[in-house]
Amino acid sequence: MSARAIAAALALLAAWPAQAYQRSCATNGGLTVCFYWPDPSAVTWKVNPVRGGDSPSCQPSSAGDPAVQAAQAAFAAWEGATRAGASAPCAHVSLPFGGTTSTAIAQTGMGTSGEHVVAFRKGWCSDLAAARADACYSSASCDNEYDCFDDEGGLGRSVLAITTIIYNPNTGAIQDADTEVADWSGAGAGVTGIGGAPEGWYFTCGSDSTLGQTCGTYGQAGCGYEDLQNTLTHEAGHFIGLAHPCESKAVGSTPACASLPPGSDAVTMYPTAPPKEIQKRTLAADDVEGVCAIYTAAGPVQEISGKKSGGGGGCSAGGGGALGALLLAGAALLPRLRPSTPRRRGRRYARDERDPVQRTTTPA
């Protein structure tokens, strides 16, 4: 992350107004739908624990795998969303951990295993000669083929992670969701500086008391950099259907972040995260209102433009047109569109009239 991006994400002290949340939505053929899991009673997800390189704080031991534990804590934060002063969660959504998986394929709703996966990509696709020479490079779709993070095109290296959602364009019902982390490739340990993330992002695990100084090189111990649980809690918000409450520039009903009051960056769904930040591990009041507005005791709230409207923040339109692919940024990136391929691997838009689905991607 550049010094400019880091400076823009520095924490400020103030209260964030409740119900400023935004739902993740997309417009296709003039119809805007907002995303939700149709059966939120048990949305099971898995982790592929294989990484290219680990900070010492994230390395597995006899006590378990800190990276997997960070993911579990991230999803649990949304499952247990509780309003201030209440004794029980207001969100009626269950996100059980399904264990580890060997698959490194994201967008698995396209005819493969159908698992909802958190995967750790190993460095940048643009650094791989084989990826650059492949046809996948021009369509930003080398992630599954080379297990790298697609940083080409408009995505860039300021992104920490990306969440892809496959949804029904007629209803917004989510059929699959996968998160890819722009993780360290494993190269440059003890030598290469982290600034600019030349080998992918250096994620650290642990508590505030164990983070210590800010890391300066890959592989450095006793320090903190981009907190993995902080990042994955944000991505889990995209996973269940929430968007950023603001963007660097106003987009539709989503305001510019600069127009919001000080302290807004403490919200979990805020689009940037500085090194060593851990406050997004804990949901702010706005995050709680968002998940509890979608997943009510009566069932998930479906929002379709012109047919039914919802409250507390409404839909944030995500791109639109025939592409049907929305990037929901998770940490320091604007949303961008890229082609989608429902029900098969690939990135070009297709439609199955019998069971229409589309794909939306969320970078963090």
For range 74-86, the mean pLDDT:
97
The count of structural domains within the chain is: 1
Q: CA Rg, the chain, in Å?
A: 19
**Across 335-340, average pLDDT:** 28
Q: What is the mean pLDDT of residues 125-139?
A: 94
Q: Which helix (H) or strand (E) holds 293?
A: helix 285-294
Res 211: pLDDT: 76
Q: Average the pLDDT over each of 2-11, 18-27, 112-121, 342-351 and give the range with the smallest value.
A: 342-351
Residue 345: pLDDT above 60?
no
Whole-Å CA distances, 205 to 13, 233, 271: 25, 13, 20
Higher per-residue confidence, 100 vs 338: 100
The pLDDT of residue 154 is 64
- The predicted-structure confidence for 252-285, as pLDDT tens digits, reads as follows 888 999 998 888 999 999 999 999 999 999 999 9
> What pLDDT score was predicted for residue 317?
32
Minimum mean pLDDT range among 70-74, 104-108, 190-194, 198-202: 104-108
Q: What is the pLDDT of residue 305?
A: 83
- pTM value is 0.82
For 238-249, the pLDDT digits (tens) are: 999 999 999 988
How far is the C-alpha of 155 from the C-alpha of 172, rounded, in Å?
A: 24
In SS3 terms, 94-158 reads as: CCCEEEECCCCCCCCCCCCCCCCEEEEEECEHHHCHHHHCCHHHHHCCCHHHHCCECCCCCCCCC
Both tokens of residue 333? 């990136």
Q: Which domain holds residue 47?
A: 3-363
